[in-house]
A and B are shown apart, each in its own frame.
Chain A
Amino acid sequence: MTAVDVSRGLLGRRRARKDAAAAAQQAQGPAKGGTSWVAFWAMVVIALLMMAPFIWAGLTAVKPFSDAFQNPPVWSFTPQFSAFTELWKGTTFAKVLGNTTIVAIASVIVSLLIGAPAAYAFARYAGRIGPILLVLALVFRALPRFAVVLPFYEASRALGIYDTNVALVIAFVAVNMPFMLLLLTGFFRELPVELDESAMIDGCTRLQAFRKVIVPLSGPGLITAGMFAFLLAFQEYLVALTLTQNNAVTIPVFVAAQAGADDITTFQTLAALSLALAVPIVLITIFARKYFVAGLAGGAVKG
């Protein structure tokens, strides 16, 4: 299957005991002085363009209300932060944020508890059934979310868990599982088989070898997988929109509802909200870049 092969090829090239990011940081002597400076400044421009939407939302958030929606834009103003106070006190944002965080943490825990042992099994089992199941899991990456989420909707209503955190956690764990398995299987394959073999010669059971030897050595892999599972709760709109109404609403659903209100007074709160979300995420991606790179290049099938 394409994605497995290619991502494996990609990782394979990086396999020299470093993850993709470490290699990416390694400066390969730039060829000629002139062009590399041109390329550098071109990248500065590209980076600024990519950040422009966040910069503009940030400006909208901190401008006084009378200046924020002027056309042409006002450039000199005294920054003020009342939109943030309004966001925190005047809307249900605090509750929604709390809720999203709970769902995110719960889905990280559940998906790692279920996914990590399974991925370890996939990485170490020589039989033919392993790869077949992995490829089948991958097929779900190509399917439209609604193909599984419409039945979720019916089932959650029938079971009385519609609009609850439980339904969201179950849905997120399920939707994320193929990606998680692929990613972690890749990570576990990188660890030499001799590690668990010697642990088992020393008297460990297979499970103990996994818990006491493999898990402690797979920190970066588990962090990467956990981080993507965590972010899913903050990113996934379609699933949350379908399965929630009031109580279990998550950030994307809240943002979309606010944006749909089409009322200029809520726009500034919305700008504050997008800044409050974008800044931490931009900082995390810059500083935890190596985990993102490893996750995107290794799993490479994030849906």
Chain B
Amino acid sequence: MRTRTFFALSGPAIALMAALLVIPLIATIQWSFQNVPVGEAGVFNGLDNYRELLTSPRFRDAAVFTVGFALVVTTLKVVLGYIVALTLHKARHGRAIFLGILLATYVVPTVVGALDFSWLFNDIFGGPVNRFLDLFGVQIDWLVNEWPARALLAMHMLWHEIPFAVLIFYAGLQGMPDEPLEAASLDGANWFQKQRYVIIPALGRLVTFVCVISIMDALKIFDSIRIITPAASQLGTESLMTYVFQIALNDSYRLGIGSAVNLLTIILTLVLLIPFLRSTWRDARGIS
């Protein structure tokens, strides 16, 4: 294909992305060094936004919570997703149907899923999970205290996103050749040894991939917090993105400082992804 044809066909999409993704991103960078009240032009204020954020306990709490949340959820997602994928791979019947059912929770709008999920823990709706815990004499006020609320959010995110990890790992398991496993069996490897030395190394790239996607998504957590713990800032479940919403669009209309949070979030995302990007880089260069 000639370069002219290439640009003729892809021009509209490139122009669209330049106008609606690149330019807004540049505006965000610019705003982060400005004081921008809604509807007015920004006034340059140097590093004031960043200085205010980095000394604000509210921002620090939101950042610590968001990063901790992303790391915990990602770890659990990989482990549980791998276990479910193994189970699915072994199941005798109906694997396609099971996959469809799992994917439904991933596709249902997050807002709706979060609402329905939280009802299981809400006594107003009969709270079936609480009734189950009653059997063991355990009582938890999910929506009143910090750690139970955080646990609830984490459980929701796992429920919502594990299917994605399952799908990826399952596809990897299906695509694995039988020979290495047979060879391992002949050498007398037990189940754990086969997992540890044959299957997990073969799925390594997929694990990296799921981690990257998961960290990116968890750092952006917004919908479920707005639904499950609307009073997030008092409950200790405020994430970076719900903080942006409050500060830029809800409580106050400070687009400049909201943009600075966005930029710090981008930097944080990059920092957390460095180990994974490095392993991909080494993969790509054939060193391991």
B4 CB, nearest partner CB in chain A, Å: 10
Q: CA separation between A294 and B54, bound complex, in Å? A: 43
Closest to A277 in B: B112
Given known contacts A57-B119, A282-B104, A234 and B230 CB-to-CB distance under 8 angstroms? no
Interface class of chain A by DSSP: helix
Contact of A125 among B1, B108, B170, B217 (CB under 8 A): B1
The 7 closest A-B pairs by CB, nearest first: A73-B126, A118-B13, A174-B20, A286-B100, A39-B90, A151-B24, A121-B9
* A81 touches B (CB below 8 Å): no
Chain B residues in the interface with A (C-beta under 8 A):
1, 3, 5-7, 9-14, 16-17, 20-21, 23-25, 27-28, 31, 38-39, 84, 87-113, 115-117, 119-120, 123-128, 131, 159, 163-164, 167-168, 170-172, 174-175, 205-206, 208-209, 212-213, 216-217, 219-220, 222-223, 226-227, 230, 240-241, 244-245, 248-249, 255, 258-259, 262-263, 265-266, 269-270, 273, 276-277, 280, 283-284
Residues in B neighbouring A274, C-beta threshold 8 A:
112, 115-116
Contact status B108-A282, CB under 8 Å: yes
Contact status A31-B90, CB under 8 Å: yes
Interface residues of A in 93-131 (CB under 8 A from B): 114-115, 117-122, 124-127, 129-130
Interface class of chain B by DSSP: helix
Contact of B258 among A27, A30, A150 (CB under 8 A): A150
Residues in A neighbouring B120, C-beta threshold 8 A:
52-53, 56
* A153 touches B (CB below 8 Å): yes
* A20 touches B (CB below 8 Å): yes
Residues in B neighbouring A51, C-beta threshold 8 A:
101, 104-105
A/B interface sample: 10 pairs, CB < 8 A: A5-B280, A6-B208, A10-B175, A53-B120, A54-B116, A56-B128, A119-B13, A143-B25, A270-B115, A293-B103
Interface residues of A in 26-61 (CB under 8 A from B): 27-28, 30-31, 33, 35-40, 42-43, 46-47, 50-54, 56-57, 60
Contact of A25 among B88, B96, B212, B249 (CB under 8 A): B96
Chain A residues in the interface with B (C-beta under 8 A):
1-3, 5-7, 9-10, 13-14, 20-21, 23-25, 27-28, 30-31, 33, 35-40, 42-43, 46-47, 50-54, 56-57, 60, 68-74, 114-115, 117-122, 124-127, 129-130, 133, 137, 140-155, 157-158, 170-171, 173-175, 177-178, 181, 206-207, 210, 231, 234-235, 237-238, 241-242, 251-252, 255-256, 259-260, 264, 267, 270-271, 273-274, 277-278, 281-282, 284-287, 289, 292-293, 296-297, 300-301, 303
Given known contacts A14-B171, A46-B84, A30 and B96 CB-to-CB distance under 8 angstroms? no
Given known contacts A51-B101, A71-B127, A174-B21, A127 and B219 CB-to-CB distance under 8 angstroms? no
